[in-house]
Structure 1
Amino acid sequence: MAEALPDCVPFRIRDVDNARGTEVSKAYSGDLDRMVRVGEPNMVMPREYMQHALTYHNFPVRPNDVFITGFPCSGVVNLAWLLLHYLNIEDARKERLLVARVPLLESKALVSENLLAMANQSLSGGLSIHSFLSSLEILRDMKDRRLIRSHLHVDFLPKDVLTAGCKIIHIIRHPKDVAVSLYNLHRRTRKFKAGLNTFVRLLTREMIPFSPYFQHGEQAWLLKDQGNVRVVFYETLVGDMEGVLEGLSRFLGVEVTEQRKADLKDTITMYNTFNAQDMKTPFYDAEADDDFVTAGEVGHWHNHFSGELHLLINSWIENRLANITLEYPYEV
């Protein structure tokens, strides 16, 4: 049944049809039992989003806020970690919880009662979970320049983000690597049990949270010529970390001094040494087999796609790219 909130937010929110909802719920062992589609791009979200949509829409931004955005598993967390340490390396060392240092704006919309119950039963991350769910309160109390993570499509970020002087850094990653990394993340955090083939079919049919993938990147790409929006490709970041971070520093109005260049080398060393444990989601199952580090590799998809599954994802990519302006700097 369609459901709209015309007096609250300037976009429609409606239930995913029962057949599709049941299919998703079964694949996720009942965790994602109710889904909604949001606005014209039909962004897919857990139904919990409805409770918080107005709060996110009206979230009070500050002119010097920095939003780090992108589809899940595109490198948002990686980039947030790097920028946090590079811009203020001493303060970053004092607090290890990334969820508290660079909060995820829409965290409460992602956590169902089932997921929270599973987390409390199987994980030992009470403080981390509390910090994750307290993102809005943490952001409200921050005194210094705020780095804010979000996987929301640009159209559904706070209403004033493009007019208040905020900066948006949007990161895009190869869709095949996103598929593999997101599959691994969801089977460890959302009890996805249906296998990679089913996950890719759900992704290509745009039934995974924050889908559709290509429209997600397209919205940011269309804004790339505005002075306050920068699009970064994950593969470029990995290949030229120093160059990308120096460019982003200038974009953020931060002077690149010799000391800052030295700090940058320290930041990259720390990233390569500590990033795996520091960046895990608080809902990560510590007992599951762990390929978290390899999930960040460029081209990791080669180890997973072949035959009909590869044909399926290639067809999806070809069809979607034909209808958007987004240009990857490499062959997709």
Structure 2
Amino acid sequence: MSSFEVTKNFPRISRENISVKCIDQKWKNFPKAILPRMCADKLDLYKNFCIRPDDIFILGYPRSGTSRLQELVWIIANDFDFKTLVEYDADARCINFEIRDWSLKWREKTLISSLEDMPSPRLMKSHLPAQLLPNEVWTKKPKLFYISREVKDVAISQFHLLSCSYSNSINFDDYLEDFLNDNVMFSPYRENLWNYLNLPDYENILYLTYEEMSADLDLAICKVAEFLEKSVSDENAEKIKDYLKFENMKARKTNDNKQTYNILLKDLNSNNHKDYNFIRKGVVGGYKNEMSSVYIDKFDEWFAKSKSLNQGFNYTEKF
């Protein structure tokens, strides 16, 4: 029997989303999640996926910096194997958990076979909310990295990516209203963020922010290395910083996700041929140049209400 209630979602921007409610007793207080349509037939696969104790998950809302963080974690976890790093695409070395089989079509593999074939430690990325992660995450407790970012920058970055993905033009104000109404892909933002930042009885997690990585990459490298119980030489630290320079990542084909993007357009029946930049500007506070003062105030008021929401976790219960 399925553990989910799945309904169609009808935002103004895309008809390709679904609304998912986890109905297991443990997760009954958690809100519905808005997910891509292609996730519909894989929800039980996500929940029942077998975890290895040394698995590593990169978690965060889309456009929060997960791609840059996954590269940093991969380098350190794989003992600074820069040769493999530049030979294989980022999404082959760190598989996006919920993007599933369509992102793997060009490699002629399924999600499960790809993950089963990966040597340990497996590095996986996910934008799923806590209630949709594999059940064994909460028993085997692998290492989790969670990255967050100023929500207004997240919204702007996601808007530009979506604008490249759909045939019909997206109205900017309509998109912002949908974001505020928890009606865009991977919503609701506030509840997802709050639940990850307040996981009960889960110590094997490291929290980072996009702004922290931008302001002090040396500190981020030290935090990641310490969490992974690795040491980083000065030489390797300099190599990491050079590799993770924004302009270098943007120019590198192994980081542009172009193969996956082309499959996505085909899956969405989109004939959109706008210039695609998976890595766009990466500027902290860039929303100030694109978002009106009216919407800045709206977002600030909306986000300030986060703590008053029904977050999901019952803190009298333990995992």
Q: TM-score range by the shorter chain?
A: 0.7 to 0.9
Distance 1:175 1:224 in 2: 24
Tell me the equivalent position of 1:83.
73
Which of the numbers 207, 213, 230 marks the counterpart of 2:189? 213
Which of the numbers 42, 47, 55 marks the counterpart of 1:52? 42
Q: Check the 8 A contact 1:78/1:279 in 2, yes or no.
A: no
Which of the numbers 35, 39, 59 marks the counterpart of 2:18? 35
Q: CA deviation at 1:91?
A: 4.6
User: When the two structures are aligned, how many residues end up with a matched partner?
Assistant: 289
Q: Is it true that 1:288 corresponds to 2:274 in the alignment?
A: yes
Q: CA deviation at 1:72?
A: 0.4
Stretch moving more, 237-246 or 82-91: 82-91
Distance 1:298 1:175 in 2: 11
Tell me the equivalent position of 1:8.
2
Q: Check the 8 A contact 1:104/1:132 in 2, yes or no.
A: no
Tell me the equivalent position of 2:235.
262
Q: Check the 8 A contact 2:6/2:40 in 1, yes or no.
A: no
Q: Check the 8 A contact 2:18/2:40 in 1, yes or no.
A: no
Indicate how the Cα distance of structure 1 residues 192 and 267 shifts in structure 2: closer, same or farther if over 3 A, else same. Answer: farther
Q: Check the 8 A contact 2:77/2:228 in 1, yes or no.
A: no
The residue type equivalent to 1:36 in the other structure is S
Q: Is it true that 1:303 corresponds to 2:289 in the alignment?
A: yes
Superposition RMSD on alpha carbons, in Å? 2.6
Distance 2:238 2:168 in 1: 38
Which of the numbers 201, 225, 248 marks the counterpart of 2:177? 201
RCO (CA 8 Å, sep 6+): is it higher in 1 or 2?
A: 2
Q: Check the 8 A contact 2:256/2:277 in 1, yes or no.
A: no
Q: Deviations over 1:31-86 (max 9, x none)?
A: x1x52232322111134323001111111111100000000001111100122234
Indicate how the Cα distance of structure 1 residues 185 and 131 shifts in structure 2: closer, same or farther if over 3 A, else same. Answer: farther
Indicate how the Cα distance of structure 1 residues 58 and 290 shifts in structure 2: closer, same or farther if over 3 A, else same. Answer: closer
Distance 1:132 1:296 in 2: 32
Distance 1:279 1:246 in 2: 23
Indicate how the Cα distance of structure 1 residues 131 and 211 shifts in structure 2: closer, same or farther if over 3 A, else same. Answer: farther
Indicate how the Cα distance of structure 1 residues 241 and 196 shifts in structure 2: closer, same or farther if over 3 A, else same. Answer: same
Q: Deviations over 1:281-331 (max 9, x none)?
A: 321689524565543211110111114333322232222354489xxxxxx
Q: TM-score, normalised by structure 2?
A: 0.81
* Secondary structure, counterpart of 1:107 in structure 2: coil
Indicate how the Cα distance of structure 1 residues 129 and 235 shifts in structure 2: closer, same or farther if over 3 A, else same. Answer: farther
Tell me the equivalent position of 1:148.
124
The residue type equivalent to 1:271 in the other structure is L
Q: Is it true that 1:104 corresponds to 2:57 in the alignment?
A: no
The residue type equivalent to 2:199 in the other structure is L
Stretch moving more, 285-294 or 240-249: 285-294
The residue type equivalent to 1:8 in the other structure is S
Q: Check the 8 A contact 1:100/1:132 in 2, yes or no.
A: no
Q: Check the 8 A contact 1:85/1:92 in 2, yes or no.
A: no
Q: Which runs of 5+ in 2 are unaligned?
A: 23-29, 266-271, 312-319
